[in-house]
Structure 1
Amino acid sequence: MLHRVRSLGSACLAATSLAALVEAGCTQDHDFLGRDPPGATSTSGAGGGPGATSSSATSSGMGGGDVVEPPGPTKLTVVNGVADHDAVRFCFLAYPDGTGAGVAPWPSAAAGLAFARARVIEPLDAAIPEGTSVRAHVVAGDLGATEGLDCAEILALAAEPAAPIVAAALPVVPAPVFAEEKSLLLVATGCAGGEGHTHADEKQGCGDAYTIDTPTAGLVAAAMSRRTTFERVALQVAHASAATPVVDVHLTPGIETASGVFLAHDLSYGALAPFPPFTGLARDNLGALEEATVETYAPADLQRTSSVPMREILANSDVPATAVTNGLGFVLVAVGAAPGTEDGGFWHPLTYTLLLADP
């Protein structure tokens, strides 16, 4: 049996191109995903993870002071980065008055969205209430117990003693975000908690603030760039691992003699970088994509802290290796435990999923 979680979590915005949220970093008011208060540091990647700093992650030679983001229809990609459960469902409720009565959970199948998997909500109004701010509740545990229930019934079940599920209320996303002509990304992050979800190394799996009584379920919101270059692969990285400190992210191609490139420097929790996207490699430069690796390094340190094979990343993704071609943009989303954290806890280790930036 599981304990109910009443968590408002933490919220971070990668605000490189969310016009409605210009100057937003990691919000100070975790009850509303809006602008920072006057005087707060505003960057493209303000982080809330361990060791986070207010820094902007960029790639050398990729400055973009006057770069214009191409317009396009509003798209929303949702990623499950909740590290301590195998799958989750979401209840997207109108804020502040939504009760969940008559609202179906998303995804519609009770199996939910697996860890490190992504799905595009299309059309948007299939799950997102129109014309209002939205609070998502993430639901985990025995998801079979949620089959046939609406969101009000699911949240009531989670509130019962010895409930089979946990439910965490995530920060509010303001209505203007969903009206932006952007390719939006929402990642549920951290740990939702539950019976038995305690361990000597739990903070390495779930973030510094985690205890069984203070879970760390949170939200990272970003706008993925639609900018591409005809003869190159465009790449960005989203940091959505609540347990991972500020890192440099490096890509080693699947070519035996290749030394690789840094995709992003000083990437903090909640950041999506670089902007404009990194376009230093053509598809041929990536070699056998399944043999490539994505590594993390401590900033200004040559000591590698993690290495995840692209074969694993592709297995997490709906993007096949054959779809990675010149002229398209992609985003690597980091989720799970801190780099180098040993298996054996209740969490998933650090991994990535690969998304189309413009699905």
Structure 2
Amino acid sequence: MDTNPTTGSAPSPGSSPSPGSSPSPGSSPSPGSSPSAAVAHDHDVIVVGGGAAGLAAATTLARARRDVLVLDTGEPRNAPAHGVHGFLSRDGISPRELLAVGRDELQQYGGRYRLVGATGARPVDGGFEVQLEDGSAVTARRVIVTTGLVDVLPEVPGLREHWGTGVVHCPYCHGWEVRERPLVVIASGPLAAHQALLFSQWSDDLTLLLNGQEGPTGEEAARLTAIGVEVVAGAVREIQSSDGRVTGAVVESDGGPTVVPCEAVVVGPRFEARSTVLESLGVPTVDFMMGELALGTHVPSQPNTGATTVAGVFVAGNVTDPQLQVIHAAGAGVRVAAWVNLELVTEDADRALALAGPQAG
């Protein structure tokens, strides 16, 4: 079924579908009492989160002549990184500069941005009231949450200090920047051997530090041996550095601490959804699974629309899909915004029809 809100063949958006189901007319009630547009709200849509997904969603809505407000803490997940990569035409731009450009584009179309965090939300008057850190509140007919996630790293001194520069996790985000350097991969779960295999495309000098995890076996172990990846047992105690650059990893071995030289560290964090506002609305957060592996948490949503289990509340970006890169998150924001606008257009038309009475038919 075509659920692209930009086409005429999209199903009627009588309400937000449940995650995992196909949207269908009248599948669940509109938020609060219907029709929601009969009650005045401060905005058509509030976007909670001012990263790539949030700004893309808000700009799309502003261009649709919607009254849209972005609420943002000003703390993007990728702020420690020197540059954004894989974003066509913006390769290497700093994360903060990319968002500054996005805010300028939003405001060019009349969208609004406030540097204030949201602490919670509740249904009210057929829409939603969002509570802010400064004690005030704002209302809207729909809410899109794009708050992203938090990367939870292993408790190893030095990892957090170099996160996003000398400590990385995504080869497509940072592989080129650490190419041809000696690398260590710190095991933080069952995918460590996979990470080592993948990063071998960028470096021939790789060491897998097990850090208390089970070592690779069978074909996986044979494959790593064949490409020259050394596997070292023992707990990682510290990441060493000099002049702001990673120089080695201290590993506890039977003979005492050993330093494994390296110039960058690869580690897979646990992904934790920033879901405070969603939880206040009763939207569930569940384990994010890759096969049988739980890699963190996320907020499930309908794949094509971003609709959550609460009608009128939508999500886009890493809060619902931790695997998205920046350019994917921006695209998801656009798609969700288009669906939200279609819902509002249909709702307004239905209200007009109801006011016109039977003669309208």
Structure with more strand by fraction? 1
Structure whose residues are more often helix by fraction: 2
Instruction: Give TM-score scaled by structure 2 length.
Output: 0.23
